[in-house]
Amino acid sequence: MKNRVAARAWRRTPSWLRVFVFLLPLMFAQRILELTSFEKTIESLAYRVLQARLHADASKIVIVDISDLQAVDVNGVPQKDARQQDLMTPRAALDDLAMALTDACAKAIAFDIDFSPDRNVFIGQEDPQFFKRWSELGIPVFLGVARAAGGPPESWLGNPEFARMAAGIVVPHATGSVAENGMPGPYPVYIPRLEPPGKNDASRGDDNLPTLAVALATAADGNLKRTLLGADSPLDAFTKTIADRPFGEGPNIPEFAVNYSSLDQLETTRILAKWDTNGRLAATNDWSSVADKLVLIGDVKGASADDTFHVANGQIASGVVHHAMATATLLSEPLRVFKPAARVVVDIVCITLVMAIVLPLKRKPPRWIRRRFHISTNKRNYLWWPAAKCLVILVLTAFGAWLVLRWGHVLWIDGFAVAAAGVLHAALDEPMETAIDKGMKHQAAHT
């Protein structure tokens, strides 16, 4: 009796409502999966496939590899064991490099080296003099900050007048994972100030330390930071480029997704700096390729273990390469994600479109098709039309996902659930109706 009531209820259910019977459980299951690592794996795989379609142009960026430059101790004595503590990169050699790049008409220079003081003490005794000299080169020069990241601006490079040259080089090591809201490759926009300002704090302006990629890309595009954090694009009403990473009990760290497609290009075009026996820049270096380019300086082949990252495509990149990839991403366009409300609206619209596709295809084919191809009723009901509906749903859903990716740079994972639900309905609805009819007739014959 219960089976008969259920069968009759299903037969009397409107066709549009049956579509929801298939769609909603799958959409709900996808939301549950988002709480597990499996969903992150799906998104990461999807991003790897789509990465080639979202190629980040790194033609404006050049990496100078200083791996062959021998480190020195605090007294300036060269040390062969780079693992020894209290070593630093020789400032005179870096000064030679900064001057050579300036003469070669580089657009901006960024050092992936931690210049921040250690407990308010400069690592190099002459650091203030070099900082002052580099600030007067006539091109933007950015100096890496790690030890003082999260502190007030006057602590970044030991003096408030050098604060505008500071750029954070602290990057999350989980770069192979997917950040919040489905964005892989997290890279911070800035490092927020971790302690509140004191009553007598003389610092003014923005207390957040911009990261190296943001600072360098801003040198090429002055509106980039405002565009990245603001709402200048019509797309910003529905999507965002930023995901917030909670940092303990402190402020959130805004991050964007890094496009790793420029990795090979950046490593191929890098310049290995040559040094003479005295540890100074050799005259045999060719800097012709850095004209009007953004130049990042750091260790590529000699990067330490804590300065390497497992990126989304399975390769390992040094810190300076990762900063360069993030810069290339910003100069192209970071991946976007739907805002929560917009995501729900888009899902509903796509479900409606699936219904609009499925329901009209329930109708019989035109008479001229039936006459021309002589399709039997069984083949039409159980093979050709279900297959046609499945194909149409898959093609249109894939086309919709491609559109939001191509024009909005939005990785829309929900399209997989919508397509799967539509295909299930198209393939199973007709056989289910037939099975219900036969079951009801069989029960009627035995009552």
Q: d(Cα 410, Cα 403) in Å, to the nearest integer?
A: 9
Is the predicted pLDDT of residue 178 greater than 50, yes or no? no
pLDDT at 372: 65
Instruction: Report the mean per-residue pLDDT for the chain.
Output: 75
Q: d(Cα 134, Cα 89) in Å, to the nearest integer?
A: 16
pLDDT at 83: 42
138-156 burial: b if 16+ Cβ within 10 Å, else e = eebbbbbbbbbbbbbbbbb
Is the predicted pLDDT of residue 183 greater than 80, yes or no? no
163-176 burial: b if 16+ Cβ within 10 Å, else e = bbbbbbbbbeeebb
Residue 186 pairs with which residues in a beta bridge?
257
SS3 state at 352: helix
State the residue for tokens 């100074």: 280
State the residue for tokens 């909005």: 408
pLDDT tens-digit series, residues 226-265: 666 665 667 777 777 766 666 666 677 888 878 777 888 8
Q: What is the DSSP letter of 78?
A: B
Q: What is the mean pLDDT of residues 354-368?
A: 62
pLDDT tens-digit series, residues 28-81: 666 665 555 544 555 556 666 666 566 778 889 999 999 888 876 555 555 554
268-300 burial: b if 16+ Cβ within 10 Å, else e = ebbbebebeeebebeeebebeebeebbbbbbbb
pLDDT at 55: 73
Q: What is the mean pLDDT of residues 183-194?
A: 76
Q: How many CA atoms lie within 13 A of 435 on its CB side?
A: 9
pLDDT at 175: 46
pTM for the complete prediction?
A: 0.72
For residue 309, which of 186, 216, 411 has the smallest C-alpha distance? 186
Q: d(Cα 314, Cα 305) in Å, to the nearest integer?
A: 16
pLDDT at 312: 59
Q: d(Cα 199, Cα 188) in Å, to the nearest integer?
A: 28
Return the structure tokens found at 107: 């657009």
Q: What is the mean pLDDT of residues 393-422?
A: 73
**Residue 136 corresponds to which amino acid?**
E
pLDDT at 265: 86
Q: Which helix (H) or strand (E) holds 319?
A: helix 319-332
pLDDT tens-digit series, residues 416-431: 667 776 676 666 666 6
pLDDT tens-digit series, residues 83-114: 444 568 899 999 999 999 999 999 999 999 99
pLDDT at 182: 43
Cβ(108)–Cβ(291) below 8 Å? no
How buried is 308 (Cβ within 10 angstroms: 0-12 exposed, 13-18 middle, 19+ buried)? Answer: middle
pLDDT tens-digit series, residues 373-385: 666 666 666 667 7
SS3 state at 384: helix
Q: d(Cα 82, Cα 1) in Å, to the nearest integer?
A: 82
SS3 state at 190: strand
Q: d(Cα 212, Cα 321) in Å, to the nearest integer?
A: 12
Measured at the CA of 80, the angle between CA 77 and CA 81, to 5 degrees, comes to: 115
**Residue 328 corresponds to which amino acid?**
A
Cβ(280)–Cβ(144) below 8 Å? no
Longest dimension (CA), the chain: 104
Share of the chain above pLDDT 70, in %: 59
Is the predicted pLDDT of residue 160 greater than 80, yes or no? yes
Return the structure tokens found at 137: 């080169």
Share of the chain above pLDDT 90, in %: 23
Range of 87-101, 204-218, 327-341 with top mean pLDDT: 87-101
Is the predicted pLDDT of residue 115 greater than 80, yes or no? yes
Return the structure tokens found at 87: 């070593």
